[in-house]
Structure formats: C-alpha cells, structure tokens
Amino acid sequence: MSDERLRHDVPSPWWGEHAHRYAWAREHVREGWRVLDLACGTGFGAAALADAGARVVAADLDHGALVEGAREFEGVPAAASDGGRRLPAEARALVFVRMDGTRLALADASLDLVVSFETLEHTTRYREMLAEFARVLRPDGLLLLSTPNRPVQSPDGVIHNPYHTQEFDRPELEALMRERFEHVEML
C-alpha cells in the first residue's frame, strides 16, 4: 500500500479530517441507495456508508488496500448479524473491487451517490474521472468529493506532496465541476 494511505487502525494527523468527511457523507445516504466509494483505501468509510443502509461498491486501484478492506469489512450485512458467515455477493451491503476511476465498470445512471475524498489531486486524468462520475450517477444522483485547497495546502505555490499531480483553488474546482454537473454546491 502507498505510504500516504490512511488506515483506521493506525494513528494519523489526518484521521480526524477523513473520518469527519465520511460522517458527513453518511448523513446523505438513504436506505437502499447504490453507492460508489472511489479511492476507498481499506474501506473504513465505505463500511460506514454500508452500515447506514447503502449497497456500496468500494473501489480502489491499490490491490493491497482492497484485500485488507475485504478481509475486515466485506460481506458484513448492513445493520444485521449473519452469525459470522460471509454473505453471497448478491446479498452483500459492501463489496471491494479494483477499479480505475477513469473507466468505471458500472452501468450508466446506476448509482445514487458517488463519494470520492482526496482523489482528484492524484491523477492528471481528473476530467475523465469526473465524466465517469457524471455517467454513472442517476439524473438526481449526488457526488460528494473533497480535494486539498491549493492556497491552504501549498501556500507558496509549490506542491510539496509527492503523491499530488496538481491541486486546485476554489474557483478552479468550481469551474471544473460545472463542466459536468448542472448543480454544484461548494462548502
């Protein structure tokens, strides 16, 4: 796994921020919603969304993170006990899948919610990723994402994080979102 990868069981100065984002996302989930958590890492956030009643696809490129997440969280039914048995795939509230955000292996208009926190800054193909989010979301679907604010993250104008290919300021991110989405709310 990448050195930058957050783990729910390892203390990190970024843990609180990440946990807060998933708590916020969980407030938006409705029972039975189909959700994609892209760049899910080990899946602690995806598990929280599933626990809120969603059917979640936890997707990442990092095979090691997916294996770890599946070992801990996959197959656990939302808000119920299965007596320690794994559920068949069609009954799972949470499944882990290796998937590229620029080529989502999901049907058009098949999701109610896409969650992707701290992802856009890691790819030069962010426009393709946003196009895929727009494609897989239902017309009334919701995209929740976060990315570092360049003036805060890199106030000297130099990107210091070796895992970031670019960072955005608020106006740039809003303009980028409006290329694909009619309704954009920046918090």
Sequence ranges of the domains in the chain: 15-178
Report the chain's mean pLDDT, rounded to a whole number: 84
Nearest to 144 by CA among 12, 42, 13, 54: 54
79, 44 Cβ separation under 8 angstroms: no
Cα Rg of the chain, angstroms: 16
Q: What's the distance, Cα to Cα, between the start and end of the chain in Å?
A: 31
**What pTM, to 2 d.p., does this model score?**
0.83
59 by Cβ neighbours in 10 Å (0-12 / 13-18 / 19+) ranks as buried
pLDDT at 77: 46
pLDDT at 85: 45
Superfamily for the 15-178 domain: Vaccinia Virus protein VP39 (3.40.50.150)
